[in-house]
A = this chain, B = another copy of it.
Amino acid sequence: MERIGRYTLSLQNAHLSAWASVVGKKESEGPLGSCFDLTCEDDSLGQDSWEKAEATLQKMALETALGKLAMKPEGLDFVLAGDLLNQCISSTFGLRSFGIPLLGQYGACSTMALTLGLSSVLVDSGAARRAAAVTSSHFCSAERQFRFPLEYGGQRAPTAQWTATASGCVIVENQGPVQVKKVTFGKIADLGVTDAANMGAAMAPAAAETLLAFFHDTGTSPQDYDAVYTGDLGQVGSTLLCQLMEKEGVNLQPVHQDCGLLLFDREKQDVHAGGSGCGCSASVLCGHILPLLAQGKMKNVLFAATGALMSPTSSQQGESIPGISHLLHLTPAEG
């Protein structure tokens, strides 16, 4: 491991050996519907609460990823996980039965990059032989907690995003078809956006800061990459991000993709500004991005998940929405 510049870590030995994605019905009907490992026709997953359904998504994602390696949970030294629910109960209850040391993480919708970045650092340093990064979100548990109970039938703002019912899990070890070459962990960025129905705008400055830090540290620019994926900025946040980068003299637009815009068809699926939630970037990473890298169809990718670190309480108290973004540089494995 080596530090490059102020914010970036260069890794030698962190490979992704297996990954799995689990999505709900609406996600399976989107443009990437055929890419995911498992699709749940019933978003309750046979559970008696949305929270338990979301926990089940994480359980299925980890089981599926382990299954691809024919590995038992004991093969993992750590699982790094987190989610949007209060006290991260999807992770706790979803992963409780596995008996793997748990490093609980909180990064809101940036969680996939946070858990995967830290897992990669732990494997690269020898602290772990193998670690799993897991996260999830569920439309119904998120609506109830952050906005309104579904039964209320609240109107959604045009800038609002649709929380994905989805989970992703990635296993990191010293071999595998995809490599984590670099990691940049982000700082909080807060330009004062207070509209909780416009999280894309709140998170865009964080994505811009982390991307600029990475480009500066590595002396590279967007055209050096096949694609730069952000987590879930949606339409509003993606436009803002490209404008913010433009102001800094960086032309991101030609290579920029956003997981929130890839997961759903905005024309047909009524998701307003796009998808969001920890499970959005997690499922797009595991269902779409990592397979393209493993197949050699992309050679050089940045994955910058973004999170909005507010709570309903902080918003009610008039606070603005702090954003954060963590970034991974991914390539097919060398040699």
Interface of A with B (CB < 8 Å)?
1-3, 7, 9, 48-49, 51-52, 77-78, 82, 84-89, 91-93, 95-96, 99-108, 114, 118, 121-122, 124-127, 129, 185-188, 190, 309-314, 317, 319, 322, 324
Contact = CB atoms under 8 A, between A and B. Distances in A.
Given A103-B185, A187-B101, A322 B118 contact: no
A219 to B, nearest CB: 20
A317 B121 contact: no
Given A106-B87, A106-B104, A322-B92, A125 B1 contact: yes
A185 B105 contact: no
A61 B108 CA distance: 24
27 contacts: A3-B77, A3-B126, A3-B127, A49-B317, A51-B313, A52-B317, A85-B311, A86-B313, A87-B309, A89-B319, A92-B188, A95-B188, A96-B190, A96-B322, A99-B187, A100-B187, A101-B185, A101-B186, A101-B187, A103-B105, A104-B107, A104-B309, A105-B105, A105-B106, A118-B118, A121-B127, A124-B125
* Among A48, A121, A312, residue most surrounded by chain B Cβ atoms (within 10 Å): A121
Contacts of A95: 188
Contacts of A124: 125
A7 B77 CA distance: 7
Nearest to A110: B104
B125 A127 contact: yes
A322 B92 CA distance: 7
Contacts of A91: 106
Contacts of A310: 87, 89, 92
Main secondary structure of the interface of A (DSSP, over half): mixed
B89 A314 contact: yes
Give how many copies assemble into the complex: 2
A44 to B, nearest CB: 13
Given A9-B127, A86-B313, A100-B187, 15 more contacts: A1-B127, A51-B313, A82-B106, A86-B86, A86-B312, A87-B310, A93-B322, A96-B190, A99-B187, A101-B187, A102-B186, A102-B188, A103-B114, A104-B106, A125-B125
A89 B185 contact: no
Contact of A188 (B1, B96, B125): B96
Contacts of A93: 314, 319, 322
A134 B127 CA distance: 22
A203 to B, nearest CB: 13
Contacts of A188: 92, 95-96, 99, 102
Nearest to A146: B87
A202 to B, nearest CB: 12
Given A51-B317, A121-B127, A317-B52, A309 B103 contact: no
Nearest to A307: B104
B121 A125 contact: yes
A105 B118 CA distance: 11
A311 B114 contact: no
